[in-house]
Amino acid sequence: RAQLVESGGGSVQAGGSLRLSCTASGYTYSINCMGWFRQAPGTEREGVAAIYTGGGSIYYADSAKGRFTISHDKATNTVYLQMNVLKPEDTAMYYCAAGDLMEDLGKLPRKYEYNYWGQGTQVTVSS
């Protein structure tokens, strides 16, 4: 199995920035996609961004486009989520996910497609 460890969450004022990191370890050879999800209290876990680590395809949720950037460092098996111009509605627990996915061109992968999940890191944006 692979293990995912996130870091980088915290509290920030609206308009600020945070960078989340997620490092995969263990059995990572089958991983071809890493992504970020978020879940606010009382809501469903929703996809934010994903990157296919081999081909480089990147997908964003509409809420993330233009403000968030996902990237991947192959040397360290780490995926990053740079979040700029944060809004109070971005407040949530952010989860890293990874797996061996079949790319559905043009579509952000859904949560059931991923094999591995991190424990989550809290992001709080105050107005």
Tens digits of pLDDT across the chain (127 residues): 999 999 999 999 999 999 999 999 998 999 999 999 999 999 999 999 999 998 789 999 999 999 999 999 999 999 999 999 999 999 999 999 999 998 888 899 999 999 999 999 999 999 9
Instruction: Please give the Cα distance from 86 to 91 (Å, whole number).
Output: 9
pLDDT in the model for residue 33: 97
Instruction: Please give the Cα distance from 2 to 18 (Å, whole number).
Output: 25
Residue 97, SS3 per DSSP: strand
Q: Write the CB contacts of 19 (distance below 8 Å, at least 6 apart in sequence).
A: 8, 80, 81, 82, 83
pLDDT in the model for residue 43: 96
pLDDT in the model for residue 89: 97
Instruction: Please give the Cα distance from 126 to 53 (Å, whole number).
Output: 33
Instruction: Please give the Cα distance from 42 to 1 (Å, whole number).
Output: 30
pLDDT in the model for residue 105: 85
pLDDT in the model for residue 54: 85
For 117, the enclosing helix (H) or strand (E) is strand 116-117
